[in-house]
Amino acid sequence: MNQGPKQLFVQTGSLVAGFMVWVLISSLMPFIKADINLSTTQIAWATAVPVILGSLLRVPIGFWTNRFGARVLFTICFLVLLIPIVVLSFAHSFAMLIVGGFLLGIGGALFSIGVTSLPKYYEKKKHGFINGIYGAGNIGTAITSFSAPVLATAYGWRSTIKVFLIVVLVFAVINFLLGDRKERKVNNSFSVVIKEVYRNPKLWLLSLFYFITFGSFVAFTIYLPSFLVNHFELEKVDAGLRTAGFIAIATLFRPVGGWLSDKLNPLLILMFVFFWLTFAGFLLSFTPSLPIYSFGCLLVAFCAGIGNGAIFKLVPLFFSKQAGVVNGIVSAMGGLGGFFPPLILTILFNWTGHYAIGFMSLSEVSLSSFVLVVWLYYQDKLDISNKIVNHAVDGIVVTDPNGIIQKINPAFTKITGYRQEEVVGKTPSVLQSGEHNNDFYKSMWNQLREEGYWEGHIWNKRKNQELYQEWLTITAIKDESGQTKNFVGMFSEEREEEKKK
């Protein structure tokens, strides 16, 4: 089998297993609290703690994946996961739940392995869809949310946890035997890579976007089972089924988000996502009836799935050389996005007696993210325009309405010998050759003012005093009111063979 499909199958299955383990505590919390005396705040902490290590560990794991390969990382992580599963199966106190839950976070940290490893096997135009398929491995949370309460009802929650020892051991063996031993490695210094990316605002914008989309997915996943039981007085199994439905929808739409991002601009997809997340948070803030609340949750699941897929199309586009660390940072922020909401919702409920402020904050943060995506969309277009200008073979000079030079491109320097700092603030007269009289320049400016356009042959002088002939085109750039804001000159040097023609 080709390594691409083979590794996609193995690594996606591994993510399913990791996420199954990651949400054990939250899925079984209605059963655990019946056996271990826990306050509302302790329940929130116990369900949120697995997210901490599952988030923070994603950064080094993404880096280590580039250095050691997915096979080594998956195998080691699954072997280590045996420890918290054993601890939790014997837990009799809040402290043991916290210790076991913290180490359980390794199951969530596995996410960074595949998003770093799998793109190596596929061409760029498929990265969104491939990462979307891999990300659909979070269906593991739905499997546990559905199956764990059923098993716990029949056999008890401690026995249910022990079943997952088999799952973890099986996938440790699968990765050891079927993992790619010849995966392409990238041996970069961690500190060097961090220095290359931490000042780039796109890193932190993507982190914020994933903080909202994946964070909302994780937060609802770990909070819904207890919330539905406590707030709407549903049966434990019914709450588990509804949570599984939420997870299934978010998971199924993740590859859709990746696929759409391969076909369309991912930033347009994110605009759609944050617009509807804003509405969903607004709807949930009114603490509606169960049917309307269910609709709001399903809308969150839909948007979270689409958004998660779109974001991991943008990471390799913006950071192709530092994808390992950036994947880790962005996914870590997404995990932390799931850590805070359950705690905040609990604190706000204890203070106010309802959840309105917490859900409204989701709406407001989503609205802010929508505005930032719009800004990034137009900034990206501007970056493309700047790249076109900087890579143009023709010299380009931009002046203000008075003819004062504001900017030049590298081709200008190559042709004339003048660097940007030598001409900015001056007029194009620094290039005058003396070959044209005042009437020539007067006619040029008159035509520019009347028609907004001039082109023709002109002799100019380089910095080294050498004369050369160029074909020059000058265009007036006007605002909506018709006022000239800038003049843009574009020129190319005419070679001897061109002059003879």
Question: 296 and 241 share a domain?
Answer: yes
pLDDT at 50: 86
Helix, strand, coil percentages for the chain (3-state, nearest 5): 75, 10, 15
Report the C-alpha gap between 264 and 2 in whole angstroms.
28
Same domain flag for 243 and 259: yes
Q: 344 and 410: one domain?
A: no
User: What domain count does the chain have?
Assistant: 2
Domain final residue pick, 389, 406, 429: 389
Q: Which ranges constitute the DSSP H helices of 90-200?
A: 94-104, 106-109, 111-117, 127-135, 139-155, 157-178, 190-197
Percentage with pLDDT > 90 across the chain: 34
pTM for the full predicted model: 0.67
* pLDDT value for 292: 87
Q: How far apart are CA 110 and CA 114, in angstroms?
A: 8
Note the pLDDT of residue 1.
Answer: 52
User: Which of 366, 389, 412 delimits the end of a domain?
Assistant: 389
Tell me, yes or no, whether 362 and 444 share the same domain: no
Query: Which domain range does residue 326 map to?
Result: 3-389
Residues 384 and 399 in one domain: no
Q: What number of CA atoms fall less than 13 Å from residue 218's CA on the CB side?
A: 33
Evaluate whether 280 touches 171 at the Cβ level (below 8 Å).
no
| Same domain? 82 vs 227 | yes
- Report whether 83 contacts 104 (CB < 8 A): no
CATH number of the structural domain spanning residue 48: 1.20.1250.20
Residues 240 and 358 grouped into a single domain: yes
Indicate the residue type of 363: S
Are 222 and 48 a contacting pair, CB within 8 Å? yes
Name residues of the chain where pLDDT drops below 50.
Answer: 497-501
CATH number at residue 454: 3.30.450.20
Same domain, 218 and 99: yes
Distance of CA 217 to the CA centre of its chain: 14
Q: Which of 353, 370, 389 is the last residue of a domain?
A: 389
- Whether residues 423 and 379 share a domain: the answer is no
Q: Does residue 349 share a domain with residue 229? A: yes
Asked if residue 444 and residue 430 are part of one domain, the reply reads yes
Compute the distance between CA of residue 131 and CA of residue 127 in angstroms, rounded to an integer.
6
Instruction: Looking at the structure, tell me whether residues 71 and 216 fall in a common domain.
Output: yes
Sheet order of strands, 395-399 included? 405-408, 395-399, 484-493, 467-478, 453-461
> How many residues make up the chain in this entry?
501
| Residue owning tokens 């997340």 | 277
Do residues 37 and 148 touch, judged by C-beta distance below 8 A?
A: no
Q: What's the token pair of residue 54?
A: 């599952």
Distance CA(191)–CA(265), nearest Å, equals 32
Burial class (CB in 10 A: 0-12, 13-18, 19+), 425: exposed
